Amino acid sequence: MRDVGSQGGGGAAGGAEAGRCGCGGRAVTYLRYSGTHRCGPCLLKSVEERARGELRRQADLAHGTKVAVAVSGGKDSLVALHVVAQAAARRRGVEVLAITVDEGIAGYRPPSVGAAAAAAARLGVEHRVVALGERDRVTVDEIAALEREMAPCSFCGVLRRRLANAEARRWGAHWLATGHNLDDVAQSILLSFVRGDLGKLARLAPHDSAYEGLVPRILPLRSVPEKEVMLYALLRGMPVLAGQCPHMGRAARGSIKEMLLALEDAHPGTRHTVLRAHERLQPLLREGLAPGRSPGRSPGPCPRCGEPSAGGVCQACALLDDVQAGRALRASGL
């Protein structure tokens, strides 16, 4: 297999074809942040070791533990499901459930729901699909068509998290794993800084505890760069769907992603540094923003839907109000 590109890892100085892995095998990639070449088998082993390490640090997978995995059907979530199922198979009495939220994005979501179902079946894991259109009577395509000021992703992420959490809780999950990789996590941290959202920085997963009703989220791939997750998926023969969400371009995350890739190119290792800095900062933020220290915000059930909220009406209900306002405006012809 050829190197999949220089993003965060390759480059002229480190072409994979020119290099040999530490084991002597032919390299499939070069990782600039660590200055190492990796062959296929060593890359697979290294990704699994990092994922297992993260699982050990983030979750207690004792006998009787139930782990739900949010599986969109994209490469990251398929790899997350694989490593969680693999970890569960090494233990006794750990159950796994795959949950897919269908946000209602025509042409994009249906193939990935199929990929999620196939992956779960291959691993012998139960798979459930929950549709936004059925539960919240709205689809992301409709939200995008309303052309509100906020990008559809702001709605999609919040509504999807609420649905996945509710389904995981209904099943009795102790943990909810997601497929966020190092690039995603570093982007979320920087995005929260750019928005000055200290509460979000404090709440970002992984969670060692969560308030009532919220299944603590864990991120087994959070220290694995996106490129390595992609290679892992390809080397394991997982389907890597080519389609891109049609609403992607409107996300603020896109500009953060570009900035982060430029930084990684100029200063290899930037994503790891951002993650480590946040790990050190987060306990201080959680302590500083704990209930009683931040007036007017105490976690509890949303007074409207009963789902967990960081304080008062939850973000999902507030966003659904915005959708209703958009529908009313559209109906009035203004």
Residue 247 within binding range of ligand SF4, rule CB under 6 A? yes
Nearer to ligand SF4, 87 or 159 (CB): 159
Answer yes or no whether residue 259 interacts with ligand SF4 by CB under 6 A.
no
Q: Any contact of residue 73 with ligand SF4 (CB under 6 A)?
A: no
Nearer CB in complex with ligand SF4: 43/140:
140
Token reading at 129: 């699909």
Beta carbon nearer to ligand SF4, 59 or 151: 151
Min dist CB 156 to ligand SF4, Å, is: 3
**From the CB of 74, what's the least distance to ligand SF4, in Å?**
9
Distance (Å, rounded) from C-alpha 61 to C-alpha 51? 14
Q: Please state the closest distance from residue 25 (CB atom) to ligand SF4, in A.
A: 36
26 DSSP 8-state letter: B
Cα 333 to Cα 141, 200, 270, 326, 329, distances in angstroms: 20, 37, 49, 11, 7
- The overall longest dimension of the chain from CA atoms, in Å, is 69
Among 214, 251, 316, 323, binds ligand SF4 (CB under 6 A): 251
Can you read off the two tokens belonging to residue 100? 């897919």
- What's phi and psi for 52, nearest 5 deg? -65, -40
Among residues 55 and 314, whose Cβ is nearest to ligand SF4?
314
Stretch that binds ligand SF4, among 60-68, 86-94, 111-119, 149-157 (CB under 6 A): 149-157
- Does 153 interact with ligand SF4 (rule: CB under 6 A)? yes
Residue 312 in the binding site for ligand SF4 (CB under 6 A): no
CA–CA separation, 163 and 130 (whole Å): 7
d(CA 322, CA 311): 18
C-beta of 248 vs 259, nearer to ligand SF4: 248
The crossing angle, in degrees rounded to 10, of helices 182-194 and 253-266 is 110
Using CB under 6 A as the criterion, what x/- string covers residues 99-128 for binding ligand SF4? ----x-------------------------
Is position 152 an interface residue for ligand SF4 (rule: CB under 6 A)? yes
Structure tokens at 128: 């459930």
CA 88/CA 67 separation, integer angstroms: 9
Residue number with CB closer to ligand SF4 (22 or 107): 107
Q: Closest distance between ligand SF4 and the C-beta of residue 304, in Å?
A: 23
For residue 295, the SS3 value is coil
Q: Which of 157, 239, 300, 301 binds ligand SF4 (CB under 6 A)?
A: 157
Residue 183, token pair as written in the block: 């690039």
The set of long-range contacts for 231-234, using a CB threshold of 8 Å and a minimum separation of 24, is: 231/1, 231/4, 231/28, 231/29, 231/43, 232/43, 232/44, 232/47, 232/79, 233/75, 233/78, 233/79, 234/1, 234/4
Beta carbon nearer to ligand SF4, 149 or 212:
149
- The strand pairing partners of 143, in sequence order, are none
Which region, judged by CB under 6 A, interacts with ligand SF4, from 34-42, 150-158, 254-262, 265-273?
Answer: 150-158
Q: Which of 140, 233, 310, 316 binds ligand SF4 (CB under 6 A)?
A: 140
User: Minimum distance from CB of 317 to ligand SF4 (Å)?
Assistant: 19
Interacting residue with ligand SF4 among 98, 168, 215, 245 (CB under 6 A): 245
Binding to ligand SF4 by residue 248, rule CB under 6 A? yes
Burial of 84 (0-12, 13-18, 19+ CB in 10 A): buried
List residues binding ligand SF4 (CB under 6 A): 103, 140, 152-153, 156-157, 245, 247-248, 251
